Amino acid sequence: MPVITLQLVIFITVAALAIASALGMLFSRNTVYSALLLVFNFTTVAFLYFMMGAPFIGLAQITVYAGAIMVLFLFVIMLLGTEQIARIEQLSAQSVAAVLLGLVIITEAVVVFLLRNPTSLVVTSGGDVVSVNEIGGLLYSQYLLPFEITSFILLVAVVGAIILTKQEKPAGKAVEGEVKK
Amino acid sequence: MTISWLYIGIFLVVSLGLPAVAIILAGILAPKKPSPEKSIIYECGVDTHGETWVQFKAQYYLIGLVFLIFDIETVFLYPWAVAFDRLGLFAVLEGLLFIGILTGGLVYAWKKGAFEWA
Amino acid sequence: MSLSDLLILLPQAFLLVWASLLLLVDLFISKERKVITAILGAAGLAITLGLTSGQWGSRATGFNQMVVVDNFSVFLSGLFTLAGLVAIVIAYDNMRRTGIHKTEFYSLLLFSVAGMMLMSAAADLIIVFLALELLSIPLYILAGLAVPRAGSAEGAIKYFLLGAFASGFVLYGTALIFGATQGTSLAGIMASIQSGTAELPLLVIGAALLLVGFSFKVAAVPFHMWTPDVYQGAPSPVTGFMSIGAKAAGFAALIRVFSLAFPSLAGQFAPIFAVLAGLTMVVGNVAAVSQVSIKRMLAYSSIAHAGYILMALVPLADPSVAANSTASALTYLVVYGITTLGAWAVISAVENADGGDTSVRDLSGLARQHPWLAAAMTFFMLSFTGIPPLAGFWGKFYLFRTAIEGGYTTLAIIGLLSSLVSAWYYLRVIVMMYFRESEAGASRAPSIQIAAILLALAVLVLGLFPSGLFQLALQALANGVS
């Protein structure tokens, strides 16, 4: 039986919040509430990363997932106008698959945490390896090439986002012309 | 390690607590005179019809996508900023190259009119 | 990093910088003078080709052993840059004619070529993954370049979703291999396996996931579902480039990873490769028979050809055959690349101005109005079938020979029989062109005609003097792989 520490109390609180927000997201009938609960869920998970001594992943989780990706999620929800879509369960086959896959994950967790010695999973390498400072040091020396390649991938992604979503000019220009008349 | 994050936790609690206290205090102290006029959505202008969640303009999606990409850029620059002092001049140049390439993307997006709201 | 690191990757770095600049320069070129963009794009590829061929014969690793430049990477880089050059020549006329001349095409093509070149030089799974993304993302965009057209949108979405899924497999496989061996560099993984510190089940699962991801890229059955829709919907010049570029890059990754990192696993994977190869040959060739659209027909044909090449990866574990069989895979990639680029050049010329689908029937009577195009197409179809003395015959000859040498006679027989099936649909195209009433109109742009004729000549010359290419492929393996 582990000693009750401040850390354990915080962990249990955050974990409970994470599970509650995930369940709320699943069962909310309002898609916008679902999305906002998902933002909350991402934030609590980010908290867990912080507690495990991985601040970089935590911050990335908040900036990228809770920030940018959820903006796109919310936007898609608002663009599609999901309120008008009939609220009929149309994913019955998928839910069977989801339950099966969920069972797989639970089995995996049971095998890893109960049957194997859980301490074998602990990486014994002090807090420093995952510090942001250390990541910066590695990223700009040993992993320089992947880092710079990433910038080109992001550049291509910008171009792709614009080419594929932006319609050609003529329609826009015609409107401007009419205004001038 | 954990202690330094505890400070942030305390700040978080305080920053969430202060506005909460202000709102609750206002709720207790304010005089209560409810009227139907006060509970409609806007106290001025035309009454709303139907859902107040309207469909967004598709243009917004493009801006969201571009934001996402530059957001990822900041994630990469964060360790750069933190480890900056031990990395030396060369890493500064590497970071500048990274920013330079993505600035190219910004120029492209700008010139293509991705930010025009029309 | 030091300057010597940069020198090792100079061709790739140059191409990436050139592509980025081209993207920006293009914004300031007026719409009437977009030919400048095309010429600048081609010039960038030509300079890269020069830079990369200068590295032939040397071997160097750089960026903390993340990349290795050897004859193998130079050989494939040459193939990629040449394919890109041909694609630009075909695309300039075709895209203007079909009204989708978006000039980002040229810089995106350059980015994709750079990704393929990086893939051929990757010595670390992280670079393999990033190169895969760098070569794929531009291709997803290029597939959707004609996007108001429904087919193009459908193809692009399918390609993107399934491609992202396949990338996920590669990434997950990489993660598992990292977990099993504590490293991502191919040399490190091999050392870990040999010293026995690797956790075997995890490693095998990781390797299998990598295989799934790469099989998607090379369009091997059962990971081929996207191919017909994408090939049909994408603009024809893009398809031509994709059919060789993405395939060759996928095979580059397969050969590098499976012959460098897991030589000891190759024996266990041989039956899996054999089944993949057999299935791919049979399904590709049989499905191609019933196609009406020539684009879908060539898509299934490209699946079938991936099957022939996969056959060369089966005997990797046998050191006495490994060099010969890998060399025959490289030879076949070159031969297939020339032939498929030529076939797509002809389709790009014949394609209607609305850019819609092209059926085999649309080629009927081509011989009367465009004898040169029809003659070139005949060469390509015969080479695809494997009729001597064209290049395709020798490509298949080397592949089947090494399969038999490696003890996989059954596989060679399956290949031979499915080749016989393929003759039916390839010859149908020739019959259409020569023995049917004329309906076909085609572009009279000299650039496409010259490209098609030159490629046809290459098919003939490589067919008459096949040993030179095979020797070159053997040399490509001499100072690095196997």
Q: What is the mean pLDDT of residues B54-66?
A: 79
DSSP 3-state helix, strand, coil percentages of chain A (rounded to 5)?
A: 80, 0, 20
The confidence band for A181, taking pLDDT boundaries of 50, 70 and 90, is: very low
Nearest chain A CA: its distance from B109 CA (Å): 7
* Cβ contact, residue pair B90, C1, below 8 Å: yes
Q: How far is B10 from chain A (nearest CA, A)?
A: 12
Contact B83 A148 (CB under 8 A): no
Alpha-carbon distance B32 to nearest alpha carbon in chain A (angstroms): 30
CA distance C366 to C353: 17
Q: Where do we find the tokens 């990395």?
A: B87
Considering only the beta carbons, identify the residue of C23, C64, C156 that sits closest to A142: C64
Better-predicted residue by pLDDT, B1 or C322: C322
Give per-residue burial for C54-89: e unless 16+ CB within 10 Å, then b: ebbeebebbbbebbbbbbbbbbbbbbbbbbbbbbbb
Count of structural domains within chain C: 1
User: At C6, is the pLDDT very low, low, confident or very high (cuts 50, 70, 90)?
Assistant: confident
DSSP code, position B48: P
* Residue C202 Cα to chain centre, angstroms: 30
Q: Is the CB of C10 inside 8 Å of chain A's CB atoms?
A: no
Mean pLDDT of C74-103: 91
Tell how far CA C292 is from the center of its chain. Answer: 24
Residue of B nearest to A80 (CA): B55
* Cis check: omega of the bond before C235, within 30 degrees of 0: no
Q: Is A44 helix (H, G, I), strand (E, B) or coil?
A: helix
| Chain A contact set for C144 (CB, 8 A) | 163-164
Q: Do A166 and B108 touch (CB under 8 A)?
A: no
Residue C179: band (very low, low, confident or very high) from pLDDT cuts 50, 70, 90: confident
Q: One-letter amino acid identity for A111?
A: V
Residues in C touching B94 (Cβ below 8 Å):
1
Please answer whether residues A21 and A35 qualify as being in contact, where contact means their C-beta atoms are separated by less than 8 angstroms.
no
Average pLDDT of chain C is 90
pLDDT of residue A171: 42
Amino acid making up residue B59: Q
CA distances from C421 to A173, C285, C289, C425 (A): 54, 7, 8, 8
Range of the domain at C87: 3-478
Looking at per-residue confidence, does C178 or C355 come out higher?
C178
Judged against a pLDDT cut of 70, whether residue C238 lies above it is answered with yes
Between C381 and A28, residue with greater pLDDT: C381
Scanning A79-138 for CB atoms below 8 A from C yields none
For residues C118 and C130, the answer to whether their CB atoms sit within 8 Å is yes
Q: Do C23 and B104 touch (CB under 8 A)?
A: yes
C 29-68: CB under 8 A from A = 63-64, 66-67
Give the confidence band of C364 by pLDDT, cuts at 50, 70, 90. Answer: confident
Q: Which of B1-10, C113-122, C348-357, C382-391 has the lowest mean pLDDT?
A: B1-10
* Chain B contact set for A67 (CB, 8 A): 71
Q: What is the ipTM of this complex?
A: 0.93
> Residue A104 pLDDT more than 90?
yes
Confidence (pLDDT) at C198: 78
pLDDT at C52: 94
Q: Report residue C62: phi and psi, to 5°.
A: -150, 175
Poorest-pLDDT segment among A11-15, C94-98, C209-213:
C94-98
Question: Can you list the domains of chain A with their CATH numbers?
Answer: 1-85 (1.20.120.1200), 143-181 (no CATH)
Provide the residue type at C349 as one letter.
Answer: A
Q: Distance, in angstroms, between C102 CA and closest chain A CA?
A: 9
* Binary contact (C27, B90; C-beta < 8 A): no
CB spacing of B108 vs A162 below 8 angstroms:
yes
**pLDDT score at C248:** 95
Nearest alpha-carbon partner for C426 in C460, C393, C465: C393
If pLDDT is split at 50, 70 and 90, which confidence band does B87 have?
Answer: confident
> Which of C5, C17, C24 should be substituted to probe chain B, the one whose Cβ sees the most B Cβ atoms within 10 Å?
C24
Q: Is the pLDDT of residue C287 over 90?
A: yes
Chain B closest-CA separation from residue A172 CA (Å): 7
* pLDDT 10s digits, C190-204: 888 888 887 888 889
Q: Which residues contact C207 (CB under 8 A, 6 or more apart)?
A: C173, C177, C257, C258, C262, C265, C269
For chain B, say whether C1 makes contact (Cβ under 8 Å): yes
User: A130 by DSSP, 3-state: which?
Assistant: helix
Residue A91: what pLDDT? 66
Q: Give the chain C residue nearest B90 (alpha carbons).
A: C1
Interface mutation vs chain B, best among A34, A129, A151, A173, most B CBs within 10 Å? A151
Most confident of A75-79, A112-116, B72-76: B72-76
* Burial class (CB within 10 angstroms; exposed 0-12, middle 13-18, buried 19+) of B2: middle
Asked whether the predicted pLDDT for residue B115 surpasses 70, the reply is yes
Q: Tell me, what's the pLDDT at C202?
A: 86
What residues are paired with C293 via a beta bridge? C359
* Chain B from 56 to 95: CB within 8 A of any C CB: 90, 94
Q: How far is CA A32 from the centre of its chain?
A: 16
Q: What is the nearest CA distance from B43 to chain A, expressed in angstroms?
A: 25
pTM of the predicted model over 0.95? no
Q: Which two tokens stand for residue C21?
A: 């600049």
Query: pLDDT tens-digit profile of A117-159?
Result: 656 555 544 444 578 888 888 888 889 899 999 999 999 999 9
* pLDDT of B44: 64
Name residues 34-63 of chain B within 8 A of A (Cβ): 51, 53-56, 58, 60-62
Is A133 in contact with B61 (Cβ distance < 8 A)? no
- The whole-number average pLDDT for the span A70-89 is 72
